[in-house]
Amino acid sequence: MSDQNVHNAGFTSSGIRGGSLASSMMSQEARASGGGVHSGGPTATLQEMGARGSTHSSGFTSSGISGGSLASSMMSQEARSHGGGTPRGGTTSTVQSI
C-alpha cells in the first residue's frame, strides 16, 4: 500500500476527508462496533498512517497480507467483530484493495 493511496482514500494529515472512502470505512466500522471507532482499530490505524504520511511496514502488500503484521492484526480484529470471517467489502478487504 502506498502513502499516496492512503491519502487518496481520504486519510490525511488534517483528518478524514468527508465524502471519501475513508469516511465510508469509518462509518461502516462505527456501525459494526455499536457506534464508535475504537483506538487501535482499522480506521484509527489508517488515519494515523495518513496523518504521519507513512504506511511503511503495515503489511498490506501486492501479494496479500503479511503474517504477523499490523495488517494481519487488523484482519483478525475485523474477523472477530464479524463472528469469525472477514466480510467482502469490509474494512480489511477494502484497505487491501487500496
> Quick check: 25 and 92 in contact, CB under 8 A?
no
pTM over 0.85? The answer is no
Across 32-38, average pLDDT: 86
User: Please, which pLDDT band fits residue 87 given cuts at 50, 70 and 90?
Assistant: confident
Across 21-48, average pLDDT: 86
Task: Please tell me the distance from the alpha carbon of residue 17 to that of residue 20, in angstroms, as a whole number.
Answer: 6
User: Please, which pLDDT band fits residue 59 given cuts at 50, 70 and 90?
Assistant: confident
pLDDT at 6: 86
User: Please, which pLDDT band fits residue 96 given cuts at 50, 70 and 90?
Assistant: confident
- Can you name the residues that pair with 12 across neighbouring β-strands? 15
C-alpha cell belonging to residue 1: 500500500
User: Please, which pLDDT band fits residue 90 given cuts at 50, 70 and 90?
Assistant: confident
Q: Where are the domains of the chain?
A: 1-35, 37-97
Task: Please tell me the distance from the alpha carbon of residue 32 to that of residue 25, in angstroms, as a whole number.
Answer: 11
